[in-house]
Structure 1
Amino acid sequence: MSYVALDVNCPEEFIEILMAELADIGFSTFQEKEDSSGLLAYMDENQEIDSSLIQSVFERYESMGEFSYELSSAEKENWNEDWEKNYDPIEVEDKILVRADFHPSNPNFPIEIIVTPKMSFGTGHHETTYQMLAFMLEMEFAGKNVLDAGCGTGILGIMAAKQLANLVAAYDIDEWAVENAKENFELNETRADKVKIWQGDVESVNDTVKFDVILANINRNILLEDIQYLQKHMKAGSYLLLSGFYEEDINAILNETQKYSLKERKRSLRNQWAALCLQRN
């Protein structure tokens, strides 16, 4: 399996905004360079790529500093090796440690989630994953049915399973992400009869199934498209947790969710990234 790789050189202060811009045109996974001189962005080679869209992104910033980029192809194995070298654990509220299997365990954290990272994280994964997990710490999952929309590595679904969810359903459009999520659920010894993972998009979710909690850490544009479908799977009183977008995108997200009687219960901001907790009336 091969992927389109975009090697970007830019000032450090533009890294995160470029991640968001590139996510909007189809890039799904990002890695900041070790020396903070830019980033690497990737998308499945089977996706159509419009080079004029990439150029237009950089034209908006060229007057603000030194920017350059180069397109190439990356093989799955090389990509994963580079990612693993730069993967850092995520620590949430001194209660959750998300770590790779090559990181040491830490008994000071009541909850440990172990993942084998395979480039399934989305934009700003530390900030958005942190906020989603922090929301989840405040919620009750025992006996609940949970949907992890665009699951990536499966971190959020694994957290729900560890909190004794009755069912965790998880999907992702990317075949590699689905493969990775399945491996990670097994790695965390979750009960196989409580987990269902498949490749597909939001419209692949069974129309008859309703969930107590829906988790969607994706990006602004996909969320705006998918909220209309996700809300169909919500019970009265159920929760929708959203992240993967900037603080400046909150109003656009809320304008969409209010169409479906979803009331904001809480919001979170972390390094300009935002998360929302909403509830169906």
Structure 2
Amino acid sequence: MSYLALDINCPEDFIEILMAELAEIGFSTFQEKEDATGLLAYAEENEEIEDSLISSLFDRYQSLGDFSFVKSYVGKENWNEDWEKNYDPIEVEDKILVRANFHPANSNFLYEIIVTPKMSFGTGHHETTYQILAFMLNMEFSGRNVLDAGCGTGILGILAAKKGAKTVAAYDIDEWAVENAKENFELNEITLNQVKIWQGDVETVKNNTKFDVVLANINRNILLEDIKFLQKFMVNGAYLLLSGFYEEDIPAILNEASKYSLQERKRSLRNRWAALCLQLN
């Protein structure tokens, strides 16, 4: 399998806006350029993103600055090799260290999560993943059943397991993300009999399963579609942690959540990206 890649040049102030716009049309993984001159965006080739959608998006920004892109296709191995060269450890609230297996361990952190940086969303670098991890730091997971919806690398489920979750169920639509998540759970010495990981979407979750905590770091549109499903899998009093959207999207998310007795308990903002902690009552 190869991935559709865009090498984008744009003003620094528009990088995050473009990430959100590109996610809307099917791109799923992003990497900011080190010199802040733009970003790299990736989508699976079978996503079938029409050239006209990409061109139309960039046409809207031409009057606002220097915007350009180069389209190509890259194999998994080539993409992953490039990412590894630029992958740095992440520190969350001075308590969580997310690192690759080729970085040294650091016992100064309360939790250390090891990930193999492959082409799946959620390595901790993005503001949305950071915010969910920060929420989780102050939550009780011991003995609880957790669902990681759209798990990416599995990083959120891994922290839940490290904090004592009884079970962790995780799914993702991307086959490689599922493979990566399984590998990362094993890297963190979390036995797979405690964890169930599979390829699929929210409709593949068994109807008779119930969770105490649901984690969903996806994107605005998918969340708006999936909230009605996710709440069915939650016990009364369960928490739903959401991210993957901007601050201005909060009203739409809360409006949809209110239809299913989900009430806001906490919110977080980081560089315009938002995260919400909701509770089912």
Aligned twin of 1:9: 9
**Residues 138-153 of structure 1 correspond to what in structure 2 (within 5 A)?**
138-153=138-153
SS in 1 for 2:133: helix
Deviation at 1:51?
1.4
**Residues 225-236 of structure 1 correspond to what in structure 2 (within 5 A)?**
225-236=225-236
1:29–1:122 contact (8 Å) kept in structure 2: no
Question: Residues 130-161 of structure 1, C-alpha deviation per residue, up to 9 Å, x if partnerless?
Answer: 11011101111011000000000000000000
User: Take 1:53 and 1:67, find their aligned partners in 2: how far apart are those partners?
Assistant: 15
2:11–2:37 contact (8 Å) kept in structure 1: yes
The letter for the 2-side match of 1:130 is Y
Deviation at 1:123?
10
**Residues 1-281 of structure 1 correspond to what in structure 2 (within 5 A)?**
1-121=1-121, 125-281=125-281
SS in 1 for 2:46: coil
SS in 1 for 2:47: coil
User: Take 2:70 and 2:161, find their aligned partners in 1: how far apart are those partners?
Assistant: 41
Q: Name the CA shift for 1:123/1:116 in 2 (closer, same or farther; >3 Å).
A: closer
Deviation at 1:239?
0.4
Number of positions where the alignment pairs a residue of Structure 1 with one of Structure 2:
281
Coordinate RMSD, CA, aligned: 1.2
Q: Which runs of 5+ in 1 are unaligned?
A: none
The letter for the 2-side match of 1:238 is A
Deviation at 1:106?
1.3
The more displaced of 151-160 and 47-56 is 47-56
1:28–1:122 contact (8 Å) kept in structure 2: no
2:150–2:170 contact (8 Å) kept in structure 1: yes
User: Take 1:128 and 1:238, find their aligned partners in 2: how far apart are those partners?
Assistant: 21
Deviation at 1:126?
2.5
User: Take 1:16 and 1:102, find their aligned partners in 2: how far apart are those partners?
Assistant: 29
Question: Residues 109-131 of structure 1, C-alpha deviation per residue, up to 9 Å, x if partnerless?
Answer: 01100000102125994211111
SS in 2 for 1:66: coil
Runs of 4+ displaced beyond 6 Å:
none
Normalising to structure 2: TM-score of the pair? Answer: 0.98
SS in 2 for 1:260: coil
Q: Name the CA shift for 1:40/1:252 in 2 (closer, same or farther; >3 Å).
A: same
User: Take 1:55 and 1:143, find their aligned partners in 2: how far apart are those partners?
Assistant: 50
1:242–1:275 contact (8 Å) kept in structure 2: yes
User: Take 2:120 and 2:237, find their aligned partners in 1: how far apart are those partners?
Assistant: 31
Q: Which runs of 5+ in 2 are unaligned?
A: none
Question: Residues 53-74 of structure 1, C-alpha deviation per residue, up to 9 Å, x if partnerless?
Answer: 1112112211110001121101
User: Take 1:51 and 1:44, find their aligned partners in 2: how far apart are those partners?
Assistant: 14
* Identity of matched residues, %: 79
User: Take 1:123 and 1:156, find their aligned partners in 2: how far apart are those partners?
Assistant: 10
User: Take 2:262 and 2:19, find their aligned partners in 1: how far apart are those partners?
Assistant: 28
User: Take 1:28 and 1:98, find their aligned partners in 2: how far apart are those partners?
Assistant: 21
User: Take 1:191 and 1:75, find their aligned partners in 2: how far apart are those partners?
Assistant: 30
The letter for the 2-side match of 1:95 is K
